[in-house]
Each structure stands twice: as structure tokens, then as C-alpha cells.
Amino acid sequence: MSGSVASNPIKVMGLDFKHPVGLAAGLDKDAKAIRGLFQMGFSHIEVGTLTPRPQPGNDKPRLYRLRKDQALINRMGFNNEGSIAASKRLVNRDKSWGVVGGNIGRNKLTANENAVEDYLLSMNHLRAVVDYFTINISSPNTPGLRDLQHEKALKRLLQKIYEENKVSDDPKPLAVKISPDLSKNEIQSISKLAVDCGFNGIIGTNTTTGRIGISINDRAIEKIGNGGLSGRPLSRHSTDVVSWIKEAVEDSTAVIGVGGVFTEQDVLDKRNAGADLVQVYTGFVYNGPSMIHDIQGAWKK
């Protein structure tokens, strides 16, 4: 099977990608649609976020379109059928389709001090059927999850994951996905820590709890309530975060840019800031499959 996108191969995290544009986690949470998504032309797909035990996520409504701003606000809350169920779907995928990443998180009811066990369980469930793992510590929709970004907790988490992965029968490249709602110093400290802990990639960024750059009024924002903002309003800041990460890690690990990617220029901006790959989500929701062909060629310019 092959998509309609021209080949522009690139090696990142030791893996071969047909071109640099992939689908960010959050759309195919349960690995139910990877074949069709690859047919649309993505070089890689992150499934999840997956947790070791199934959970329903937050109450509905939990996803809002801000059409005028080409943005989304979501508070899904890691709704998924669990990493075992996803592994059973992925076992029959054809690896020639493209690269699959397993984006994993902790269950809502798991305390942060026990979070590492959730990550390791999902890694064990998925190890044979994904090509790399992304450790999600930055969703704003699981209470307390972002506290794992604090240096002491993060070091313990990343070290344990790295050690267990290294001694497994099938070690996988490891990436960590970070929040845009941190200072430059915090982002660079996390990035350096991830490198020190042996991680192969850093994904910048997750959604933001901020509401800067959107046109709806305060009353409408209040009505929507909590959730992570994605799309065009995040584009410039996420590109800045990519440049901060690159400045901190140089060429010691891969950098994956996510946030507000809609056009060729957005791809170029991420690449010029230091991204090795880009991922899309909200742009795909608004622009549809044709955008994949439209933007992946930017890497050659």
C-alpha cells in the first residue's frame, strides 16, 4: 500500500520515514484507522494517548471547534480502550505502510508516584507492534499529569523508562512530549534532562491552556471552559519552542515540531527552527487529506 505523497525519505531516531510529515497523537487514539490514514499519505502515525487500563475520558462535550481561528479546544482526558486492545489491532499492520509511534500516558486514577508503572505496562503491551514510544507528560486534561515535568519527578520517570526499555528484548526509540506552557529555561532544562536520560526525541509541543490569539470573547471562552488549545494560534509559539529545544540539545537528539502546522510555510518554519519531523492534527481536521501532499514537499526547499 502506498499513499499519494511523493517520497522524500529521512532517517530520524534510527527509523526510516518516507517523508517528514506525520499525524500527531490524539486523532487515532485506539489504532483503529491507521491503514486509511497511511493511505492518505502520512509517513508516520502516533496512536494514543493510550493508558494501560481502559478509561472513558472526561464528560462530554469535550471538543470544540473555533472555526474563525482554525483552532480546537479539547479536554478529552485520555479516552481510550487501553493499550492491550490497541496492541491487538496493531499486530496485523503492514510495516511497509509507515512508522507507528505509541503515545502513552498514565490512567487518571493513578497517582503520580506510581505513574512509571502505567508507562511500563503500556510499553510491555505495545512493544512488539510499534516502532517508537512517546511519553506524554504534558496533556492538560489529566489532573496532575504536568507535575511530572518537574525536574525531580521527571528524572526518576525518564530514567526508569530508559532502563527498562534498554534491557527489554526489543528496545525502542524513546521520545518525550512537552508542554508549551513552560518558560524557555524550563523547556531547555527538560530537553537536556531527556538527553541525559538517553531519550532519542523531544516533541514540542502539546496543547496550551492559554487562550492568546483567539477571537472569541471572554464569555464564550468561559462557556467552553477548560481544555487544551491547538491550531493556528499556537503556530508561532510552538515554533519558538522547537528553536529553544534545538538550542539546548543541538544534534544530540531528534526534535519533532507540532502545533499550528497548516501550510508549506509552517513546515519550513518548523524545519528552520530545528525540527527533524513535523506532525499535524488541527490543520488536518480543517484542511483534510490534501494538505499532506501540499506541505511535505516543503522539506526539499
Side chain identity at residue 10, one-letter code: I
The span from the CA of 301 to the CA of 297, in Å, is 7
The span from the CA of 127 to the CA of 286, in Å, is 33
User: For residue 192, how many other CB atoms are within 10 A of its CB?
Assistant: 16
Q: Is the bond into 205 cis (omega within 30 degrees of 0)?
A: yes
The span from the CA of 62 to the CA of 57, in Å, is 9
Instruction: Read off the C-alpha cell for 26.
Output: 490524539
DSSP reduced 3-state for 67: helix
Q: List the alpha helices (DSSP H) in 5-74.
A: 34-39
Side chain identity at residue 166, one-letter code: K
Backbone angles phi, psi at 24, to 5 degrees: -70, 160
The span from the CA of 89 to the CA of 38, in Å, is 15
* Active-site hit among 139, 179, 191, 235: 139
Q: Residues 59, 217: contact at Cβ < 8 Å? A: no
Q: Give the gyration radius of the chain's Cα atoms.
A: 18
Backbone angles phi, psi at 144, to 5 degrees: 80, -5
Please confirm, yes or no, whether 87 is among the known catalytic residues: no
Residues catalogued as catalytic: 139
